[in-house]
Amino acid sequence: MATTEMNVKRITRTDHLLSPPEPSGSDEGTNVSGLERTVSVLAGSAVTLYGLRRGGASGLLVSLLGGAALKRGLSGRCDVYAALGVSTAEEGAGRGQGLSLGARRTIDMSAAATVRNSADELYRLWKDPQNLTRFMTFLDRVEQISDTRARWWLNAPVGPVLEFEAEVIDDVAGERIAWRAVEGAMIEHTGEVEFRPAPADRGTEVRLTLHFRPPGGAVGAALLRLFDGAAELKLRGDLKRFKQWVETGEVATTEGQPSGRA
Amino acid sequence: MKALCWHGATDVRVDHVPDPTILNPRDAIVRVTSTAICGSDLHLYNGYIPSMRSGDILGHEFMGEVVEVGREVKNLKTGDRVVVPFPISCGSCFFCGRQEWSLCDNSNPNAVAAEQLWGHSPAGLFGYSHLTGGYAGGQAEYVRVPFADVGPFKIGNGIPDDKVLFLTDIFPTGYQAAEFCNIQEGDTVAVWGCGPVGLFSIASAVMLGAHRVIAIDRFPERLAMARKLDRVETINYEEIGNTLDIVDLLRDITGGRGPDACIDAVGLEAHGVGLEWWYDKAKQSVRSQTGRPIALRQAIMACRKGGTVSIPGVYGGLLDKIPMGSAMNKALTFKMGQTHVHRYLPSLFERIERGDIDPSFIITHRFPLDKAAEAYHIFAQKHDDCVKVVLKT
């Protein structure tokens, strides 16, 4: 059973890559180019400090992510690249070339949680997009356009409000819902949520998967790369909040509690 | 309201802060009548637990009176007198269902961050760093209690705060540590640390039928408190020597076998003697390890073959020179964890009501909340034979 899942995961992770380049034989374990490493170190340090100053749950998360970028820069190794079979560390890959190479690739991320409720119940809750605003922190609002189409507004702590239209492309009651952003959307992606019964009545394994195509331009690609680990952790957080909401009726929070901070 | 806030290593202050409010439907607000400083608060005070922020309200041992309840809290009402377990537990996840309350899956809003450090996230805790949720603690006039329909335990008015306050943490913590030892007839249990958790571990080991308890510390007043308990002998390790000397002594006085179970009630800021002590101190000060596991090493080395090492002492990160070879080759069992307080609270309350034990025996100091900063200093320095501080609001 476990082996099957691993294989399934590997297939979904790679089937979007047309022809992943073999990592070069240069520095062993290094898959991030020199320029990118410098950017990772500088931006990672800044993000870490920003997160620490900002404080709160989100600040802590931000600082951890900054730390991940810092580590990536110092070590020259990016786990997400490794998982994708991508390397920007090849000979002559510096000076922007490395950046644009990665920019055309898909970035895949996934999160999993076991929730006590039945697959049918979880599927039904997920089916109504209004419910998603309860636990997806950056999701501002959703407007249903038709049975299969909806318009989404994302409001991240930095940057503009992002808006896109998505359509359901696969829907199996009690098992899975898959969607994709419609042509020309600001955030080009496909996504999928699956519900599988856990063994021995332990509830349902929920797996959320997203495949992003980074927006064009070297800056956008570099930024997205810096935050690729961050986005996956964010996804994991959202799924945990879904579980909290379903299992306890509320989402755990400390937002609004007193402290001795001015 | 007034609240004891952390502002940096050895810098805590009583600040005026806003009153807590109901944030979720299963919250309650409790007016604190008594709260205590835990030995584990000193790890925060001394700056050894990561992810603290200036202004965090400390305190996870508190009790008081319910003054407000959220709309989903049906079992409590205004005016109820409650003691509150220090782990925050939802009562409905896989772990709470297994009575593993301190492992609750749903109470830590920063679970993703905890996973980065520990692999998985334990329950949220009151006043104990942002890795365990960043919840404001109870060394304050009022505190918000999440999942108030699960944690708070109602107590009638006939029994004073001092007798029941320690049901929030240290009494169940000591009890769980002793229960982990699976004590059999004739067993000897050795306990490192005669602070509050050590003393409750000792008392619980005796209650659970230990033939003999050997208590180890370096403070004469703490050893004297331990000796007052039945079937307890004490060792002042400073008079004995280093780890090998302690292990030799324990082997010798147990007929060559070693204690059947060893409890580390010290945790990450252990003291010791000689080279080992200086080595750990140096490594911890440059952050190349986050704890000084001297008591843990001794517990492992001293434990009899096939015995149990039980660890109520707190560790946060990485340790160095743990004798895993000894543990593996002697087939030891390790039992540890934050306490599943909810599991023990009702039965330990009954023991207090019956008069089997009066937990107030460990209180040496009482201060008003206003003097909390001074109280931390005295407790941290162990001035004036300080063992346990209770703060009154």
Q: What is the DSSP string of B251-299?
A: HHHTTTS--SEEEE-S-TB----HHHHHHHHHHHHTTSSS-B-HHHHHH
Q: Which of residues 102-161 of B touch A (CB under 8 A)?
A: 105-113, 115-116, 124, 130, 133-136, 140, 144, 146-147
In this model, does residue A3 exceed pLDDT 50? no
Choosing among A248, A253, A255, A261, which should be mutated to test the B contact, i.e. which has the most B CBs within 10 A? A248
In this model, does residue B29 exceed pLDDT 90? yes
- Distance from the Cα of B17 to chain A's closest Cα (Å) equals 6
Q: Which residue has the higher pLDDT, B269 or B149?
A: B149
What pLDDT, on a 0 to 100 scale, did the predictor assign at position A219? 63
| Residue owning tokens 């007034």 | B2
| Element housing B368 (H / E) | strand B365-368
Contact assignment for A243 to B144 by CB distance below 8 Å: no
Angle at B87 between CA B341 and CA B84, to 5 degrees: 70
Give which of A177, A120, A167 is closest to A145, Cα–Cα: A167
Q: Which chain B positions have a beta carbon within 8 Å of A262's beta carbon?
A: 55
- Any residues with CB less than 8 A from the CB of B1 and at least 6 apart, and which? A258, B16, B17, B18, B19, B20, B140, B141, B142
In this model, does residue B334 exceed pLDDT 60? yes
Give which of B280, B290, B322 is closest to B129, Cα–Cα: B290
Per-residue pLDDT tens over the stretch B190-247: 999 999 999 999 999 999 999 999 999 999 999 999 999 999 999 999 999 999 999 9
- Any residues with CB less than 8 A from the CB of B253 and at least 6 apart, and which? B214
Per-residue pLDDT tens over the stretch A142-163: 999 999 999 999 887 777 888 8
Contact assignment for B57 to A260 by CB distance below 8 Å: yes
In this model, does residue A53 exceed pLDDT 80? no
Percentage with pLDDT > 90 across chain B: 92
pTM of the model: 0.84
What pLDDT, on a 0 to 100 scale, did the predictor assign at position A40? 59
In this model, does residue A99 exceed pLDDT 80? no
Q: Which residue has the higher pLDDT, A228 or A151?
A: A151
DSSP 3-state assignment of B84?
A: strand
What pLDDT, on a 0 to 100 scale, did the predictor assign at position B284? 86
A73-81: average pLDDT: 54
Kindly indicate the confidence band of residue B288, based on its pLDDT and cuts at 50, 70 and 90.
Answer: confident
Closest partner CB to A247 (pick from B21, B93, B140): B93
Closest partner CB to A252 (pick from B1, B17, B146): B146
Q: Which of residues 270-299 of B touch A (CB under 8 A)?
A: none
Q: Which of residues 66-85 of B touch A (CB under 8 A)?
A: 72
* Least confident window among A171-185, B168-182, B302-316: A171-185
Choosing among B110, B128, B149, which should be mutated to test the A contact, i.e. which has the most A CBs within 10 A? B110
Q: What ipTM goes with this model?
A: 0.94
Per-residue pLDDT tens over the stretch B91-100: 999 999 999 9
Burial B3-25 (b: 16+ CB within 10 A, else e): bbbbbeeeebebbebeebebbbe
Do residues B169 and B200 make contact, with C-beta atoms less than 8 angstroms apart? no
What pLDDT, on a 0 to 100 scale, did the predictor assign at position B28? 98
In this model, does residue A7 exceed pLDDT 50? no
Kindly indicate the confidence band of residue A220, based on its pLDDT and cuts at 50, 70 and 90.
Answer: low
Nearest CA in chain A to B91: A248
Q: Which chain B positions have a beta carbon within 8 Å of A57's beta carbon?
A: 109-110, 113, 130, 134
Q: Which chain A positions have a beta carbon within 8 Å of B5's beta carbon?
A: 259-260
DSSP conformational letter for B168:
G
Kindly state whether B318 is in contact with chain A, defined as any CB-CB distance less than 8 angstroms: no
Kindly indicate the confidence band of residue A47, based on its pLDDT and cuts at 50, 70 and 90.
Answer: low
Kindly state whether A169 is in contact with chain B, defined as any CB-CB distance less than 8 angstroms: no
* Least confident window among B46-50, B53-57, B260-264: B46-50
Choosing among B53, B115, B120, which should be mutated to test the A contact, i.e. which has the most A CBs within 10 A? B53
In this model, does residue A250 exceed pLDDT 90? yes
In this model, does residue A167 exceed pLDDT 50? yes
Contact assignment for A248 to B26 by CB distance below 8 Å: yes
Contact assignment for B53 to A237 by CB distance below 8 Å: no
Kindly state whether B21 is in contact with chain A, defined as any CB-CB distance less than 8 angstroms: yes
Q: Which chain B positions have a beta carbon within 8 Å of A64's beta carbon?
A: 113, 116
Which amino acid would we find at residue A25? G
In this model, does residue B390 exceed pLDDT 50? yes
What pLDDT, on a 0 to 100 scale, did the predictor assign at position A100? 33
Range among A20-24, A189-193, B122-126 rated most confident: B122-126
| Residue owning tokens 């292990």 | B247
Contact assignment for B25 to A249 by CB distance below 8 Å: yes
In this model, does residue B365 exceed pLDDT 70? yes
Kindly state whether B18 is in contact with chain A, defined as any CB-CB distance less than 8 angstroms: yes
Kindly state whether B90 is in contact with chain A, defined as any CB-CB distance less than 8 angstroms: yes
Choosing among A65, A114, A259, which should be mutated to test the B contact, i.e. which has the most B CBs within 10 A? A259
Mean pLDDT of chain A: 72
What pLDDT, on a 0 to 100 scale, did the predictor assign at position A160? 81
Q: What is the DSSP string of B187-244?
A: -EEEEE--SHHHHHHHHHHHHTT-SEEEEEES-HHHHHHHHTSTTEEEEEHHHH-SHH
In this model, does residue A97 exceed pLDDT 60? no
Contact assignment for A258 to B19 by CB distance below 8 Å: yes
DSSP conformational letter for B105:
S
Kindly indicate the confidence band of residue B286, based on its pLDDT and cuts at 50, 70 and 90.
Answer: confident
Contact assignment for B54 to A258 by CB distance below 8 Å: no
Give residue B127's region: left, alpha or beta (phi > 0; psi -120 to 50). Answer: left
Contact assignment for A253 to B51 by CB distance below 8 Å: no
Nearest CA in chain A to B25: A250
Kindly state whether A139 is in contact with chain B, defined as any CB-CB distance less than 8 angstroms: no
- Any residues with CB less than 8 A from the CB of B243 and at least 6 apart, and which? B272, B276, B294, B297, B298, B301
A9-13: average pLDDT: 37
What pLDDT, on a 0 to 100 scale, did the predictor assign at position A62? 59
Closest partner CB to B112 (pick from A61, A243, A260): A61
In this model, does residue A9 exceed pLDDT 80? no
What pLDDT, on a 0 to 100 scale, did the predictor assign at position A74? 56
Kindly indicate the confidence band of residue B283, based on its pLDDT and cuts at 50, 70 and 90.
Answer: confident
- Any residues with CB less than 8 A from the CB of A190 and at least 6 apart, and which? A169, A178, A179, A180, A181, A210, A211
Kindly indicate the confidence band of residue B166, based on its pLDDT and cuts at 50, 70 and 90.
Answer: very high
- Any residues with CB less than 8 A from the CB of B363 and at least 6 apart, and which? B162, B387, B388, B389, B390
Q: Which residue has the higher pLDDT, A255 or B291?
A: A255
Closest partner CB to B109 (pick from A243, A252, A259): A252
